[in-house]
Amino acid sequence: MNALLSVEGVDVHHGDLQALHGLDLTLDEGETLAVIGANGAGKTTLLRTIAGSLRATRGEVRLDGDPIGSTPAHVRVARGIALTPEGRRIFPSLTVEENLLVGGYRGRKGPWDLRSVYELFPLVHGRRTRAGAHLSGGEQQATAIGRALMANPRLLLLDEVSLGLAPVVVKEIYAALPQVVARGTTVLVVEQDLNQALGVADRVQCLLEGRTVLEGPAATISREDVTAAYFGLQE
Ligand SMILES: Nc1ncnc2c1ncn2[C@@H]1O[C@H](COP(=O)(O)OP(=O)(O)O)[C@@H](O)[C@H]1O
Ligand SMILES: [Mg+2]
């Protein structure tokens, strides 16, 4: 059986700078993977390469075994890949509800619609007529995740959910993730916050300077190993 997602020997460059070096990653349907790494490790580059806003210079990205490396981003959304980008990127002049509807525009049919997103994130429901510019960081993050869910993704990519949010808000947002997983969505979460990532993930993959330095089941990898990999202190 094919993996839902496979990233095979991928190099990605930003101009002269090579951000990913022969990176491999696989995700089976229903799995939750945490990709962990320090600032600049290549996490966002990886997610953007999977979502289609960056192209690999070598290697391939596959969905269900089909090469999608040259498939445009909006077609990848239609095939079931949705990204909640770093920094949320909420449309500031649109209301919360309009932001959510934009997310559904290119998407698939499935369990996620305005009603189920509002049930998942009651704090977003309470703000549905408010402009994106006037939301708190937590409200923006919940709206950004809701917007991605509106596409009914098979694979949800979450980039730095907790960045810049108060711990209580981070907890509230992470508390919603099991309901997303329970509906069959495969989740790839990128975090600098080890606690959150290890709490939700089945498997962990640590990046350092664009390469995988540690990977394994979340239950068997020790915090010390992850911390050492994070800072490049192995061997
Ligand atoms: N748009 C860009 N232009 C030039 N360099 C970039 C760009 N985006 C990222 N980089 C560089 O690529 C490397 C990986 O960055 P990134 O993927 O954002 O890492 P992370 O998300 O793990 O912090 C870093 O050295 C970063 O400076
Ligand atoms: Mg990043």
- Mean pLDDT of all residues belonging to the chain: 92
In a domain, 162, yes or no: yes
Range in 39-53, 57-71, 219-233 the model is least confident about: 219-233
3-state helix, strand, coil in the chain (%, to 5): 35, 25, 35
Q: Which of 199, 208, 200 is nearest to 228 (CA)?
A: 208
Q: What is the pTM of this model?
A: 0.94
Looking at the CA of 45, which ligand is closest?
1
Q: Which of 20, 37, 21, 150 is nearest to 83 (CA)?
A: 150
Indicate whether 235 pLDDT > 60: no
Question: What is the reported pLDDT for 234?
Answer: 58
- Could you give the CA distance from residue 69 to residue 129 in angstroms, rounded to a whole number? 38
In a domain, 64, yes or no: no
In a domain, 62, yes or no: no
Q: How confident is the model at residue 198 (pLDDT cuts 50, 70, 90)?
A: confident
Q: CB 41: neighbour CB atoms within 10 A?
A: 24
In a domain, 119, yes or no: yes
Indicate whether 202 pLDDT > 90: yes
H or E, element range at 84: strand 81-84
What's the domain range around 46? 30-53+71-231
Q: CB 193: neighbour CB atoms within 10 A?
A: 18
Contact (Cβ atoms closer than 8 angstroms) between residue 215 and residue 205: yes
Compute, in angstroms, the gap from residue 39 CA to the centroid of ligand 2. 7
Residue with the smallest CA separation from ligand 1 atom 16 is 42
- Could you give the CA distance from residue 112 to residue 118 in angstroms, rounded to a whole number? 10
Compute, in angstroms, the gap from residue 46 CA to the centroid of ligand 1. 10
Domain CATH code at residue 160: 3.40.50.300
- Could you give the CA distance from residue 45 to residue 66 in angstroms, rounded to a whole number? 21
Which one of 18, 25, 44 would you pick to mutate in the ligand 1 pocket, going by the greatest count of ligand atoms within 8 A of its CB? 44
Q: What is the position in ligand 1's atom list of the atom closest to the CA of 47? A: 17
Compute, in angstroms, the gap from residue 14 CA to the centroid of ligand 1. 7
Q: How many domains does the chain have?
A: 1
Looking at the CA of 19, which ligand is closest?
1
Q: Calculate the CA 122 to chain-centre distance.
A: 21
Q: What is the pLDDT of residues 53-103, one digit of tens each?
A: 999 999 999 999 999 999 999 999 999 999 999 989 999 999 999 999 998
Residue with the smallest CA separation from ligand 1 atom 1 is 14
- Could you give the CA distance from residue 161 to residue 96 in angstroms, rounded to a whole number? 18
Indicate whether 136 pLDDT > 90: yes
Residue with tokens 């510019």: 133
In a domain, 37, yes or no: yes
Which one of 17, 53, 162 would you pick to mutate in the ligand 1 pocket, going by the greatest count of ligand atoms within 8 A of its CB? 17
In a domain, 205, yes or no: yes
In a domain, 58, yes or no: no
